[in-house]
């Protein structure tokens, strides 16, 4: 426990990441494996009965995708926009294998274009094929600068402070609530991922898109610059 830390610093730390703050300031030992976020926190961010928002004039939308080749993981997409300092989730799509990557890419591209989205961000480990496939449908594919685990860590304080609005999507809620935080062997860094034999394809795109739009003026500036490069 750190008795010299300012009270405001401690309060801010607990808001950003309760598990880290408890270990740093509360004299609690970290375990190698623990839940990433509580169900109560996630459900407090859900708009009950709201399953999707149609595109509205005057709003700037962004999209995040998690591509898949069609035989293992799902191919997922999330679209969101900012309202002040809050990130609003507008739409979520999941296509489970088996599927045709070409047809799903077209489907997701069409949905993006309906919202005025001409650029998507996605996993940099998917190789070049997403760039080529999305480009065929008028969509630029940009690789994410941060890893999936880093996106989750950035997403946590947005959940804790209710600076995001989630859709009423039970599977998405379950995936977020099942995420685990592990301490990486040899590095000591936290790694956030799904449990063994589970999936987080929907949670990944939700965290990705909402960290792009939520967070106030600084984040809004990032989004404006992002859109200007389209």
Residue-wise pLDDT for 170-199, tens only, equals 999 999 999 999 876 655 577 899 998 899
Strand ranges of the sheet holding 119-122, from the earlier edge strand across to the other edge: 140-143, 119-122, 61-66, 75-83, 86-95, 164-165
Reduce the DSSP state of residue 193 to 3 states and report it: strand
Q: What is the CATH number of the domain that holds 215?
A: 3.30.420.240
pLDDT tens, position by position, 78-133? 999 999 999 999 999 999 999 999 999 999 999 999 999 999 999 887 778 999 99
Residue 10 confidence (pLDDT)? 60
Instruction: Name the residue range of residue 174's domain.
Output: 52-228
> Quick check: 205 pLDDT over 90?
yes
Reduce the DSSP state of residue 92 to 3 states and report it: strand
CB atoms within 10 A of CB 203: 29
pLDDT band, very low/low/confident/very high, at 25 (cuts 50, 70, 90): low
> Quick check: 224 pLDDT over 50?
no
Residue 79, domain member (yes or no): yes
Q: Tell me the HSE value of 58 on the side-chain side, using a 13 A CA sphere.
A: 1
66-72: average pLDDT: 84
**What separation, in Å, do the N-terminal and C-terminal C-alpha atoms of the chain show?**
48
Question: If you average pLDDT over each of 32-41, 70-79, 85-94, 127-136, which comes out highest?
Answer: 85-94
Residue 69 confidence (pLDDT)? 82
CB atoms within 10 A of CB 147: 14
pTM: predicted TM-score of the whole model, two decimal places: 0.80
55 alpha-carbon distance from chain centroid: 20
Instruction: Name the DSSP letter for residue 125.
Output: G
Residue 30 confidence (pLDDT)? 44
Residue 201 confidence (pLDDT)? 96
Distance, CA of 161 to CA of 26 (rounded, Å): 20
Residue 203, domain member (yes or no): yes
Distance, CA of 168 to CA of 219 (rounded, Å): 25
Residue 154, domain member (yes or no): yes
Residue 169, domain member (yes or no): yes
Instruction: Give the chain's domain count.
Output: 1
| Residue labelled with tokens 């004039």 | 57
Give the strand pairing for 75-83 and 61-66: antiparallel
Residue 175, domain member (yes or no): yes
Residue 32, domain member (yes or no): no
Mean residue pLDDT across the chain: 84
**Which of 25-39, 45-59, 115-129, 156-170 has the lowest average pLDDT?**
25-39
Residue 215, domain member (yes or no): yes
Distance, CA of 143 to CA of 124 (rounded, Å): 5
205-222: average pLDDT: 75
Residue 192, domain member (yes or no): yes
Distance, CA of 227 to CA of 96 (rounded, Å): 30
Distance, CA of 48 to CA of 221 (rounded, Å): 30
């Amino acid at each position: 426990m750190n008795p010299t830390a300012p009270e405001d610093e401690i309060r801010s730390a607990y808001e950003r990441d309760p598990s880290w703050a408890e270990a740093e300031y509360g004299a609690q030992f970290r375990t190698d494996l623990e839940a990433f976020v509580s169900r109560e926190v996630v459900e407090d961010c859900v708009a009950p009965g709201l399953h999707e928002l149609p595109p509205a004039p005057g709003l700037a939308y962004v999209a995040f995708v998690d591509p898949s080749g069609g035989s293992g993981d799902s191919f997922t997409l999330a679209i969101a926009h900012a309202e002040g300092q809050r990130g609003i989730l507008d739409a979520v799509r999941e296509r489970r294998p088996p599927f045709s990557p070409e047809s799903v890419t077209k489907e997701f591209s069409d949905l993006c274009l309906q919202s005025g989205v001409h650029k998507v961000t996605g996993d940099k480990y998917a190789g070049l094929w997403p760039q080529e496939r999305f480009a065929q449908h008028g969509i630029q594919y940009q690789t994410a600068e941060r890893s999936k685990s880093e996106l989750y860590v950035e997403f946590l304080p947005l959940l804790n402070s209710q600076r995001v609005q989630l859709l009423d999507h039970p599977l998405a809620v379950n995936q977020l609530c099942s995420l685990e935080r592990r301490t990486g062997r040899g590095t000591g860094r936290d790694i956030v991922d799904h449990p063994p034999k589970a999936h987080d394809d929907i949670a990944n795109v939700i965290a990705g898109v909402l960290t792009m739009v939520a967070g106030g003026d600084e984040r809004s500036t990032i989004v404006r610059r992002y859109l200007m490069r389209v």
